[in-house]
Amino acid sequence: MRPTDRKYTKSHEWIMMDGDTAVIGITDFAVNELCNGNEGDLVYCDLPEADRLVEAGETFGEIESVKAVADLSSPVAGTVIENNAAIEDHLEILSEDPWKKGWMIRIKPNSTKLDGLMDAAAYDEFVAASAE
């Protein structure tokens, strides 16, 4: 079971409110799809600088493996206030802990409403259905 303290998108990002900021990352499913369990397959990650404005659904960066390149999409609109620069140099963080150490960006959202996003149970069902 994935963490229940956050919401999930169909493009496999997660978002968790931390006070008045939103923390965003990618799910374990996304990491596994990119690297097939071999953390060495992750080769590049590009994250936005602070003060960048993003819209809900907008691409804010990308992650690349030897197998594929995936866009990173923001679940909410707002202003990037911090990126996790450690990930860009140490992609293994995503394989080891996508839920805590593997966060990607913090955003000051325009709204704290997370309508239209899935809870953990719904995301688990979504992933299971896509694997069929």
Strands 53-54 and 78-83: antiparallel
Q: Domain containing 53: what range? A: 7-108
* Higher-pLDDT residue of 38, 126: 126
For residue 129, give the 3-state DSSP assignment: helix
On the 0-12 / 13-18 / 19+ scale of CB atoms within 10 A, 30 is buried
Q: Within a domain: residue 119?
A: no
Q: Within a domain: residue 48?
A: yes
Q: Within a domain: residue 34?
A: yes
Q: Within a domain: residue 67?
A: yes
Percentage of the chain with pLDDT > 70? 98
Q: Within a domain: residue 2?
A: no
State the average pLDDT for the chain. 92
Q: For the segment 7-44, what is each residue's pLDDT rounded down to a tens digit?
A: 999 999 999 999 999 999 999 999 988 887 676 788 99
Q: Within a domain: residue 23?
A: yes
Q: For the segment 62-112, what is each residue's pLDDT rounded down to a tens digit?
A: 999 988 899 999 999 999 999 999 998 899 899 899 999 999 999 999 988
Q: Within a domain: residue 131?
A: no
d(CA 86, CA 5): 23
Is residue 125 over pLDDT 80? yes
Assign residue 89 the CATH number of its domain.
2.40.50.100
Q: Within a domain: residue 124?
A: no
Confidence of residue 115 (pLDDT cuts 50, 70, 90): confident
Looking at the 3D structure of the chain, how many domains does it have?
Answer: 1
Cα 14 to its chain centre, rounded Å, is: 5
